[in-house]
Amino acid sequence: MSAHARALKFLQHIVRNLPAEDQLGYVLSRIAAEVDTAVLIFDGKGELIGSIGGAPTELIWESVDTGLAESQTRVGRWVVRARPLGPNREGYSLVFATRVADDIDAPKEIIEAAEIAVNAVLAVIRSDNARWVRENAELLEILEKGVPQAREHRFWSRLSEHGFTPHTSFVLIVDEDVTGEVPSSDFLWNLHEKATRSEVPLLAATRLTLASSDAVVHMLVPDTEATQLWLRKDFSGRAMGISASHYSLTEVPIGLREAEDAYRVAMNRAKAQLNIGRESERIKEVAVYGELRMGAWGAVVAPVEEFRARTRHLLAPFDHHSEILETLIIHLANSFSVNATARQLFLHSNTVRYRLARAEELLGDSLSSPLVITDLTLALEAEIKAYRHQL
């Protein structure tokens, strides 16, 4: 039988016998039997999507060159052959691996047929995933707009389909990349996969009419220890506001407003860190609404434009005295320690005292006044926090 005829027969057998469940597992098993190798599928980030044959997945992924149309290499005793998948050969890698031969001895027609079969199943999976993510996001959007108490039990029933335990506490989250990058098309699915691995039920949505921009992500999660561990683990490079704990789904709009207020605090702090040169991927700002200090809370619940105008008026005298303002901020970050401020700025303590005296002249008031300190702390809270990260 020619290689072409063999490949056609192989595809026909898969189409005729494709099961309703675990289609990817079935296709991989048929490919493994046809080419007599282990077979693996990785996504673009190296996550294993499926495998059969017991090959060392982590070592093999490290050897895969995703920039090549096809590559073959050795990983210890294993011979590894990889091909990128997808319409533009981006996103997934199909890998064959054997340790009983010196080469992957399979006709190119069979390899191409295997690629066709895997691409077809992945397309179905992506379609199902996209539909599930869309339905999940639509449920969150309905809850954020508000549901009447008489219908609350119906929505708890729908939430249970997504892994939530009815009538238990939850929090709302507003989250954004600190650089303002808009989430990619597969962002939500990846987010759900991470939450699932941490055993955290999740509703999540992007590009909502209630969001301040397309870069903002809204989430609803249980208020549990597992959720707290997940949030600490998977959100580097992001600014996140978390609401107080709520029990009734009628309070979701309230929780959303709380999360938005906390998010504004977190994003202001993240931007202040970017402004002093901290790398975005090392920034992770989380603000919990119920834990906000009075000053931070008051700053975000005040009318935004009026607060900015008052801040601008307070700091206007420093427009041409950036060194004086930086010294003042670092002095506040160091809890009024002249020596600590001098060490952080690599200055003599007398230079710091001179600059603080100049700050008092510019402000027209004493830095020992609690009212002046209150105003400065409110206006510069994010910058003070940013410099405290350097301590």
Tell me, what CATH number does 216's domain have? 3.30.70
pLDDT for 243 equals 97
Domain annotation covers residue 137: no
Domain annotation covers residue 22: yes
pLDDT tens across 231-289, in order? 988 888 999 999 999 999 999 999 999 999 999 999 999 999 999 888 988 889 999 99
Please tell me the distance from the alpha carbon of residue 291 to that of residue 171, in angstroms, as a whole number. 14
> Is the pLDDT reported for residue 209 higher than 90?
no
Same domain? For 264 and 375 the reply is no
pLDDT for 86 equals 64
Same domain? For 99 and 159 the reply is no
Same domain? For 314 and 292 the reply is no
pLDDT tens across 260-273, in order? 999 999 999 999 99
Select the more confidently predicted residue: 2 or 88. Answer: 2
Please tell me the distance from the alpha carbon of residue 139 to that of residue 120, in angstroms, as a whole number. 29
269 exposure class (CB count in 10 Å sphere: 0-12, 13-18, 19+): buried
The domain spanning residue 347 has which CATH number?
A: 1.10.10.2840
Same domain? For 153 and 293 the reply is yes
Which pLDDT band holds residue 67 (cuts at 50, 70, 90)? low
Same domain? For 228 and 319 the reply is no
Structural domain boundaries, residue 210 = 146-298
Please tell me the distance from the alpha carbon of residue 27 to that of residue 15, in angstroms, as a whole number. 10
Same domain? For 54 and 151 the reply is no
Same domain? For 82 and 202 the reply is no
Among 298, 322, 356, the domain boundary falls at 298
SS (H, E, C) the chain: CCHHHHHHHHHHHHHHHCCCCCHHHHHHHHHHHHHCCEEEEEECCCCEEEEECCCCHHHHHHHCCCCCCCEEEEECCEEEEEEEECCCCCCEEEEEEECCCCCCCCCHHHHHHHHHHHHHHHHHHHHHHHHHHHHHHHHHHHHHHCCCHHHHHHHHHHHHCCCCCCCCCEEEEEEEECCCCCCCCCHHHHHHHHHHHCCCCCEEEECCCCCCCCCCEEEEEECCHHHHHHHHHCCCCEEEEECCCECCHHHHHHHHHHHHHHHHHHHHHHHHHHHCCCCHHHCEEEEEHHHCCHHHHHHHHCCHHHHHHHHHHHHHHHCCCHHHHHHHHHHHHCCCCHHHHHHHHCCCHHHHHHHHHHHHHHHCCCCCCHHHHHHHHHHHHHHHHHHHCCC
Q: What pTM, to 2 d.p., does this model score?
A: 0.71
How many domains does the chain fold into? Answer: 3
Same domain? For 106 and 155 the reply is no
Among 56, 88, 123, the domain boundary falls at 123
> Is the pLDDT reported for residue 88 higher than 60?
no
Same domain? For 119 and 93 the reply is yes
Same domain? For 286 and 353 the reply is no
Which pLDDT band holds residue 87 (cuts at 50, 70, 90)? low
pLDDT tens across 296-340, in order? 888 888 888 888 899 999 999 999 999 999 999 999 999 999 999
Same domain? For 50 and 14 the reply is yes
Domain annotation covers residue 113: yes
